[in-house]
Structure 1
Amino acid sequence: MRDFRDCLEDCSLTDLQFSGHSLTWSNGSISKKLDRILCNEKWFEQFPNSIGVFGKPGISDHSPCCAFLDHHMPAQKRSF
C-alpha cells in the first residue's frame, strides 16, 4: 500500500468526487471500497464539474463505474 500511495503522490493523482455505491466490491459477506476513479490536476482544470458514479453490482463482484464530465448526469431509475 505504501508503494501505491507513493505512486499516487508521484503522479499527482487524487480521487474524483463520486456518488452512488460507496462499497464497490463484495464477496457476499464482506464489502469494501476497492475501486476508485483517479484524476490529475490537468483533468480537474479541463473538467471541473466532473463526477464519478458507482452503480449497483451486477454479474461482477465489482460495481460498475462511469465518469461524467459535468453534473448533468442522466436520471437514475428508481424502483417502487
Structure 2
Amino acid sequence: MLKLMGFFIEEKDNGAELKVNTQIEIVFKFLTNEFAGFRAAYNLWNKMFNLTQNMKELQSYVLMLNDGKSV
C-alpha cells in the first residue's frame, strides 16, 4: 500500500494528477480476496439503485462470497 501511495505522490510531483476514483480503483485491484467484503460494501455505498438493481448486486455479492456457487 505504501508503494502505491508513493506512486500517487510521484505522479502528482510530475504534474499529472489521477482522479480520486481512479486511485481507488487502482488500490482495489491490489487488494487480496480478504478485502472482498470491504470492496463490496464500498461499491454498494457509492451506488444508488432501484430494487431490481439492488437484488442483482446482492446476488453477485453472495456468489462472490461462495466462490461462484449459488445458495
Is the structural similarity TM-score above 0.5?
A: no
More helix by share: 2
Asked which structure has the greater CA Rg, the reply is: 2
Q: Which structure carries more relative contact order (alpha carbon 8 Å, separation 6+)?
A: 1
TM-score under structure 1 length normalisation: 0.22
**Given the two structures, how large is their TM-score scaled by the length of structure 2?**
0.23
**Which has the larger strand fraction?**
1
